[in-house]
Structure 1
Amino acid sequence: MSSSKKTTSSLAFVSKPALLSFCLLAVSIGTDYWYIIDVNKPNSQDLSSYSGLWTINEANRTSVIPSFTANMSALSKADRHLLELHRAVVILLPLGLVLLVFGWIFGLVSSLAYSTKLLTGTAVYFLVCSIFTLTGVSLYIQYHSKAMEEFQRTVSPEDLAYVDVYFGWSFAMAWLSYSLELATGLLLLLAAKITQMKGRYDCGVAVATL
């Protein structure tokens, strides 16, 4: 009896990385430090900025990224491509966040139910969630790579020497969330295998005692 409780408790522990991955992704989506541009040109106004999935903050002014409100017909092909990439990001990552809520519930239930099939199904579910997050983050990298190319075309090489661009801690949290989603899926697969092996062992012991 104590062995069963111990095993169930260890399986329930698997749900903790899932909860942490949800918290990290929620903070990541809700904060504005995905991408940072530092301009250190002397004797000039502050042109530094930082941006999130929804807004751009520059010179003490916040502007909303018009991914769904922009007039696409009035934009160039490059600008339309950028907005399409951004749309995909702001759809995939929040959708992945919603899926994580259900994944955490499924993970907790399957762990407490001590069911191999439920554990395996939940593991696959979390691996799918990790694909959503990975795709969203990868598209964001592509989005800012294209945006940086456009930025370099409009700024002289002399001015570019004073510009530093890098991803911020909000972006890092999204990567951590992806890592935990992947780890949760793999841990659940391991838990399913252990549960299956223990079930066979218990069945063999029961047969041997007959």
Structure 2
Amino acid sequence: MMRYGSVIVAAGCTAVLSFCLLAVAIGTDYWYIIDVNKPNHTGSDDLSSHSGLWRIYEGANSSSVILSFTANMSSLSEVERHLLGLHKVVVILLPLSLVLLVFGWIFGLVSSLARSPKLLTGSATHFLLCSFFTLCGVSIYIKYSNQAMDEFQKIVSPGNLPYVDVSFGWSLAMAWLSYSLEVATGLLLMLAAAITHMKGRYDSGVAIAML
């Protein structure tokens, strides 16, 4: 049987790593990258851009804030309002997941010290809920980016599209890793709850046999 302490330490490590990775992902600006490599164009670097959840960087020095909540909706098209709505959901879900991870630490520490199967199961469920929010946030961001790219292709001449290379960046990869570690934390806490439950049944059986 696996040792309870080893499982709890592993769960603690994955929980800390998941928080750190999600915090890095939310705070950095390499979620979506557009590289423009048009031949015979001396200013090709200025056409490239990368963006995060809060800012868009165009070229070497130009940047702008994504105003999801303060934009004038009346001046936007239906497609633009839809894209802005998707972005609002993303910037709500991912920070919410980050905050919930902090409460998960506290709940997980208490339950691990108490060695209560019910509390450990509750902590595991909490981390799986965090992973659900992270998964939803990342999935909606991918949908948002793909739809934004579809609109971008409509306004760019077909002759220029072959010179545009679009990719998701390492910030998104950090969010995916955080999601995986959140799931791992939940499963490890589930395992710890099972170990504690089995040990309790074993101790009860030994006590009965000694009567």
TM-score range relative to shorter protein: over 0.9
Question: What TM-score results when the alignment is normalised by the length of structure 2?
Answer: 0.94
Matches within 5 A, 1:113-132: 113-132=114-133
CA RMSD of aligned residues (A): 1.3
Q: Measure, in 2, the Cα distance between the counterparts of 1:153 and 1:162.
A: 15
Tell whether the 8 Å contact from 2:7 to 2:188 is kept in structure 1 after alignment: no
Q: Measure, in 1, the Cα distance between the counterparts of 2:4 and 2:70.
A: 52
User: Which residue matches 1:176?
Assistant: 177
User: Which residue matches 2:142?
Assistant: 141
Q: How big is the shift at 1:104?
A: 1.4
Tell whether the 8 Å contact from 2:4 to 2:195 is kept in structure 1 after alignment: no
Tell whether the 8 Å contact from 1:8 to 1:112 is kept in structure 2 after alignment: no
Q: Measure, in 1, the Cα distance between the counterparts of 2:7 and 2:189.
A: 11
Q: How big is the shift at 1:9?
A: 5.2
Letter in 1 for 2:205: G
3-state SS of the aligned residue for 1:182? helix
Question: Please, which runs of 5 or more residues in structure 2 have no aligned partner?
Answer: none
User: Which residue matches 1:65?
Assistant: 66
Query: Is 1:37 the equivalent of 2:38?
Result: no
Question: What TM-score results when the alignment is normalised by the length of structure 1?
Answer: 0.95
Q: Deviations over 1:62-96 (max 9, x none)?
A: 10011111100110000000100000000110011
Q: Measure, in 1, the Cα distance between the counterparts of 2:130 and 2:200.
A: 29
Q: Deviations over 1:93-127 (max 9, x none)?
A: 00110000010121122112111010000111111
User: Which residue matches 2:108?
Assistant: 107
Q: Report which stretch shifted further, 159-168 or 102-111.
A: 102-111
Q: Measure, in 2, the Cα distance between the counterparts of 1:189 and 1:166.
A: 36
Q: Measure, in 2, the Cα distance between the counterparts of 1:11 and 1:137.
A: 28
Q: Measure, in 1, the Cα distance between the counterparts of 2:6 and 2:21.
A: 24
Q: Deviations over 1:26-51 (max 9, x none)?
A: 00000000000000002322200000
Tell whether the 8 Å contact from 1:28 to 1:170 is kept in structure 2 after alignment: yes
Tell whether the 8 Å contact from 2:8 to 2:188 is kept in structure 1 after alignment: no
Q: Measure, in 1, the Cα distance between the counterparts of 2:67 and 2:4.
A: 50
Question: How many percent of aligned residue pairs carry the same amino acid?
Answer: 72
3-state SS of the aligned residue for 2:67? coil
User: Which residue matches 1:3?
Assistant: none
Q: Measure, in 1, the Cα distance between the counterparts of 2:196 and 2:112.
A: 10
Tell whether the 8 Å contact from 1:53 to 1:90 is kept in structure 2 after alignment: yes
Q: How big is the shift at 1:14?
A: 1.5
Q: Measure, in 2, the Cα distance between the counterparts of 1:105 and 1:19.
A: 12
Question: Please, which runs of 5 or more residues in structure 1 have no aligned partner?
Answer: 1-5
Q: How big is the shift at 1:191?
A: 1.1
Tell whether the 8 Å contact from 1:25 to 1:173 is kept in structure 2 after alignment: yes
